[in-house]
Amino acid sequence: MLTGDATTDEVAEAGLRGLSQTLFRRTSIEPAAPLGVDLETDELAFFPFLYWPVTADQPLPSREAYGKLNRYLRSGGMILFDTRDADTARFGSGSPEGRKLQAIARSLDIPPLEPIPSDHVLTRTFYLLQDFPGRYASRDVWVEAAPVDAEQVEGMPFRNLNDGVTPVIIGGNDWARAWAVDTSGRRMFPVGRGMSGERQREIALRFGVNVIMHVLTGNYKSDQVHVPDLLDRLGQ
C-alpha cells in the first residue's frame, strides 16, 4: 500500500520482496513480484494480501477508496496494518502512527479484534509459532476475535473456527524492515543483536510465511486435525 512517503514505500517493497523470496525458497508458493497499490486508482480484487505501513502524515482514503477497501475485506482479502512503533508505543495509543491508524480504521468494516490467541490457525499454517516479531518483538498483534460460540471441543487441540480468514492483522513490529532485502538479495536492516537477532529475523520471516499461507489456505490447517478421523471412517 503506497503511503506517499518514499522511504516507507521503498522499505515496504523491499520487505515484501524479502518475504516473496523466502516463500519461493521454502514453500510451494511462488509469488510474483510485489506491486505498490494506489488505493484511489488500483483494483484491489487481484491482491490476496495487502501490507499497509501506517505513517503519521499519510492522507485518509477517499470515500470511494473506503468502499473499495470494505468490499475487499468482505470478499476475503487481508490487510496487515503495521504502525512500526512497537518500540515506543503500545498498540492503540501514544504514537502519531497509532492515532493515524485509528483514524483510518474508523470507517473500515473491521470486526471485533483480540490479541492472537495461542490456538489461532496463524500459529500453525506452516511453521509452529507463538511469537510474531518483526524488527521489534512486541506481543501486541491483533486479529479478528473468535466467535463467541467457538467452544473448545473436548479432545480437540484447537477450537473449530469457520474458514473465514481474519480480514486484518494489526501490529507495530515493523515487519517490512525485518523481511527487507535489496535487489541483490542482501538484508537491508539489522535486527536485534548477534545470533539472537538473526533468530528473531528468522521467526519474523516464518510469521510472514504463516500469514501468506493463512490468506491462501484459510483454515486448512485447522481441518487437518480431522483428516485422520475422516480417513479412518472411509471404507466403513
Partner 1 sequence: MTGTLVLDPLIPLPLLAIVAALALAALILSVWRRLPGWWLRGLAGAVLLTALANPAIQQEDREPLSDIVMVVVDESASQRISDRADQNAAALDNVTAELARQPNTEMRVVTLADGEGDLGTTLMTAVSEALAEEPQARVAGIILISDGRLHDIERAPNLPAPMHLMMTGQPGDWDRRLIVSNAPAFAILGEEVNLTLRIEDQGDAPDAQSVLLSISIDGDAPLTVPVPIGEDIQLPVTLPHGGMNVLQFTIPDAEGELTNRNNAAVIQINGVRDRLRVLLVSGEPHPGERTWRNLLKSDPSVDLVHFTILRPPEKQDGVPVNELSLIAFPTRELFLEKIDDFDLIIFDRYRRRGILPSSYLENIRNYVENGGAVLISSGPEYGGAESIYRSPLGAILPGAPTARVFEEGFVPQITDVGQRHPVTEQLDLLSPNPEGDGPGWGRWFRLVDVLVPEAAMTVMAGLDDRPLLTLNRIGEGRVSLIASDHSWLWDRGYEGGGPQLELLRRLAHWMMKEPELEEEALWVEPTGQTMRIIRRTLDAETGTVTVTGPDGTETELTLEEVSPGRFETVWDAPEIGLYRLDDGEETAVIALGPSAPREFEQTIASAEALEPLISGTNGGVMPISAGEIDIRTVRPGRPAAGRGWIGITPREAYRTAEISITSLLPAWAYLLLASLLIVGAWLREGRR
C-alpha cell at 16: 515484501
Q: What torsion do the CA atoms of 194, 208, 136, 103 make, to the nearest 10 degrees?
A: 160
Nearer to partner 1, 59 or 147 (CB): 147
Q: Which of 7, 30, 118, 155 binds partner 1 (CB under 8 A)?
A: 30
Q: With binding defined as CB under 8 A, does residue 21 bind partner 1?
A: no
Q: Largest alpha-carbon pair distance within the chain?
A: 63
Indicate the burial class of 210 (C-beta count within 10 angstroms; 0-12, 13-18, 19 or more): buried
Q: Smallest gap, in angstroms, from Cβ of residue 22 to partner 1?
A: 8
Nearer to partner 1, 54 or 69 (CB): 69
C-alpha cell at 85: 512503533
Q: Which of 40, 57, 163, 182 binds partner 1 (CB under 8 A)?
A: 163
C-alpha cell at 196: 539472537
- DSSP result, 183-195: TTS-B-S--SSHH
Q: Which of 6, 32, 33, 128 binds partner 1 (CB under 8 A)?
A: 128
Q: With binding defined as CB under 8 A, does residue 43 bind partner 1?
A: yes
For residue 223, count other CB atoms closer than 10 A to its CB: 15
CB proximity list for 74: less than 8 A, separation 6 or greater: 109, 167
Q: Smallest gap, in angstroms, from Cβ of residue 87 to partner 1?
A: 26
Q: Which of 7, 28, 93, 183 binds partner 1 (CB under 8 A)?
A: 28
Q: With binding defined as CB under 8 A, does residue 127 bind partner 1?
A: yes
210-229 residues in contact with partner 1 (CB under 8 A) are 212-213, 216-221, 223-224, 227
> Which of 20, 16, 23, 232 minimizes the C-alpha distance to 125?
23
Q: Which of 21, 27, 70, 160 binds partner 1 (CB under 8 A)?
A: 27
Whole-number Å distance between alpha carbons of 113 and 189: 30
Q: Which of 125, 138, 166, 200 binds partner 1 (CB under 8 A)?
A: 125
Residues in contact with partner 1 by the rule CB under 8 A: 25-30, 43, 45-46, 48, 71, 75-77, 124-128, 163, 165, 206, 212-213, 216-221, 223-224, 227, 230-231, 233-235
